[in-house]
Amino acid sequence: MMWSHKVILTLTILIWFGSPSISQEIKNLTMRIEGDQIMINYDLIGIPTEAYRVTFYSSYDDYRNALTKIAGDVGLEVKAGSNRKAVWNVKEELGEYTGNIQVKVSVKHIPLLEFGPITKIKRGKVNTMVWQSDARTENLEFLLFHGGQMVSNLGKVANSGEWSWNISRKTKPGEGFQIKAIALGRSSVTNEFRISRKIPTIVKILPFLGAGGLVAVLLARDRTKPIPLPLLPE
């Protein structure tokens, strides 16, 4: 039994921006009915190396739930490009339905990682960083940057959502550090953070300051003592 064609399709584009720094746009969205299915074509304008989540909704449930009986260029990690295609099996999704249907599509940039905030890293200590990722990769490459320049390659890291590391004592402390993660031709960076010494400089020099202060006090005390006069011969 064929699905009823007594349906009027109205296309409405709803764009959700996932990242202010990544531009995305849906263009040339078209749909046509073929049997029990609706064939969808669209162009996804964005950065070719980045990934986007493309989700379709219908007015059948007031756009509350994403369409599930849909396949093709939908869901996670859709690449930007022209002539993206999807097939919606309307009969499986809605059953026997007659009436008007409005369709909305949302597109959201999916970063490689979403790092947790980093405030301060101490040299010579184990530091833990966390992240969330929908990327389908087992390993990531982490690079340490300072002021936009790469300082060191931190190596391959498992995409487990957590990593503990001990930064080299040779790394010069300061502000403006970031970690960049690379995989699948994509990248994400942390917020800027500070690298500090394990033991503050003032703590290191306190013993010397204390010793110097003690010597100064002793010298001062010696100066207050009366200088003994030589004994006169009897």
Topology of 7-110 in CATH?
A: Immunoglobulin-like (2.60.40)
CATH of the domain spanning 114-196, picked from 1.10.4100.10, 1.10.3210.10, 2.60.40.730, 3.65.10.10: 2.60.40.730
**pLDDT tens profile 71-99:** 999 998 899 999 999 999 988 998 877 77
pLDDT band at 32 (very low <50, low <70, confident <90, very high): confident
CA atoms within 13 A on the CB side of 35: 7
Mean pLDDT of 27-45: 89
Q: What is the pLDDT of residues 187-225, one digit of tens each?
A: 899 999 999 887 655 445 455 455 555 455 445 555 555
Residue among 147, 189, 142 nearest 167 (CA) = 142
7-110 and 114-196: identical CATH topology:
yes
Question: Is residue 102 within 8 Å of residue 58, measured between CB atoms?
Answer: yes
Length of the chain measured in residues: 234
Per-residue pLDDT for 55 more than 90? yes
54: exposed, middle or buried (C-beta count within 10 Å: 0-12, 13-18, 19+)? buried
Beta strands in 14-161, from DSSP E residues, in sequence order = 25-34, 37-45, 51-58, 70-72, 75-79, 81-89, 99-110, 114-115, 120-122, 126-132, 139-146, 149-158
All structural domains of the chain with their residue ranges? 7-110, 114-196
3-class DSSP state for residue 207?
helix
**So what's the pLDDT on residue 231?**
52
More confident residue, 66 or 121: 66
Residue at 111: amino acid letter: P
Say yes or no to pLDDT of 167 above 80: yes
